[in-house]
Homo-oligomer: A and B are copies of this chain.
Amino acid sequence: MSDSLSGGGHTVGFIGLGLMGRPMAMNLHAAGAEVVIHNRSRAVVDALAAEGLAPAHSPREVAERASVVIVMAPDTPAVERIVGAGDGIANGIAAGGLVIDMGTTAVEATRALAETIEDRGAHYVDAPVSGGEIGAKAGTLTIMAGGSEAAVARAMPYFRVMGASTTHVGEVGAGQIAKAANQVIVGLTIGAVAEALALAKRAGADPAKVREALGGGFAASRILEVHGQRMIDGAFTPGGKATTQRKDLQQALDLAASIGLELPATALTRDLYDRLIAAGGGDLDHSGLYTVIDA
């Protein structure tokens, strides 16, 4: 995170102040931007207003007061409500404005929302993130951006505050495609590590020794490192929730189905997350999938 917004007269809107959005907005504020905020539940807005952020009563009002508006909502219907509905951004944003969706949103919906915004003469970037609450707080998110060169370039000063690296993947929607790919790999690799460590433990080896032995070879991954350790410790406080991982896998499967692509391992892993949720583990960290295998 760099302090690149001070003295630049940057005013930025931020809508959606949950576990991720709140620290992201705070980082923009700390970097020197004037941050105009809105959230469906008012408590967090009041708390951040006490810290010097500027409250607004609707997404529309945010867009009227800030020419760049960031959205960090929990799911696609919420983004559609925030951007497109009567009191939404689309009815407040001026020509030349910029809307940046940093949540994990369906690709088709992203393209439709971009069209709505472009019809107002404004621009749209999809820029979902990886790195979780820890990365949001530290300003070290991995950002996957979709949009025109000019629009992504305009968003970069904000991305540099919130993230450690940004890749411009392609046109609008490409960021969400990359995020879907990311979630497929994360979910399925968690499943892989869960089956491997459960096998090691139940066959009589020390899973900690096995994780150590495997970390230097082709099985090495961030998931083995971080979530493998969680599985060994039985430490499943999120982190990233199982229900969110399940939603993201379903979103990837919906995208695949829309283009006639079969993803058998993604479908199976979605089903395993369903088993975890049915057993009451939906609020566990996604690495809690281990408890379905070593049951």
Binding site for B on A (CB under 8 A): 107, 130-132, 142, 144, 164-165, 167-170, 173-174, 177-178, 180-182, 184-189, 191-193, 195-200, 202-206, 209-210, 212-214, 216-224, 226, 252, 255-256, 259, 261-266, 268-269, 272, 293-294
**What B residues does A206 contact at CB under 8 A?**
169-170, 174
A218 touches B222 (CB 8 A): yes
Looking at the complex, which one of B142, B218, B252 makes contact with A131 (CB distance below 8 Å)?
B218
Tell me the minimal C-beta distance from A217 to chain B in angstroms. 4
Given known pairs A169-B210, A173-B204, A177-B205, the reply for A265 and B192 (CB within 8 Å) is yes
Q: A185-B219, A198-B263, A265-B265 known; 7 other A-B pairs, CB under 8 Å?
A: A132-B218, A142-B214, A164-B216, A178-B213, A184-B192, A188-B195, A220-B222
Copies in the complex: 2
B174 touches A185 (CB 8 A): no
A185 touches B196 (CB 8 A): yes
Looking at the complex, which one of B131, B169, B188, B217 makes contact with A213 (CB distance below 8 Å)?
B169
Q: List 15 A-B contacts (CB under 8 A).
A: A130-B219, A164-B216, A174-B206, A178-B214, A181-B214, A185-B192, A185-B193, A185-B219, A185-B221, A198-B261, A202-B259, A203-B256, A218-B222, A263-B293, A264-B272
**What B residues does A213 contact at CB under 8 A?**
142, 144, 167, 169, 178, 182
B192 touches A178 (CB 8 A): no
Give the 8 A-B residue pairs with the shortest CB-CB distance, closest first. A221-B221, A188-B192, A167-B213, A142-B217, A130-B217, A181-B196, A185-B219, A177-B205
- Which of A188, A206, A224, A259 has most chain B Cβ within 10 Å? A188
A214 touches B182 (CB 8 A): yes
**What B residues does A293 contact at CB under 8 A?**
261-263
A199 touches B167 (CB 8 A): no
Interchain CA distance A142-B259 in the complex, whole Å: 41
**What B residues does A185 contact at CB under 8 A?**
189, 192-193, 196, 214, 219, 221, 224
Tell me the minimal C-beta distance from A139 to chain B in angstroms. 14
- Which of A184, A192, A294 has most chain B Cβ within 10 Å? A192
B263 touches A177 (CB 8 A): no
A263 nearest in chain B by CB position: B195
**What B residues does A266 contact at CB under 8 A?**
195
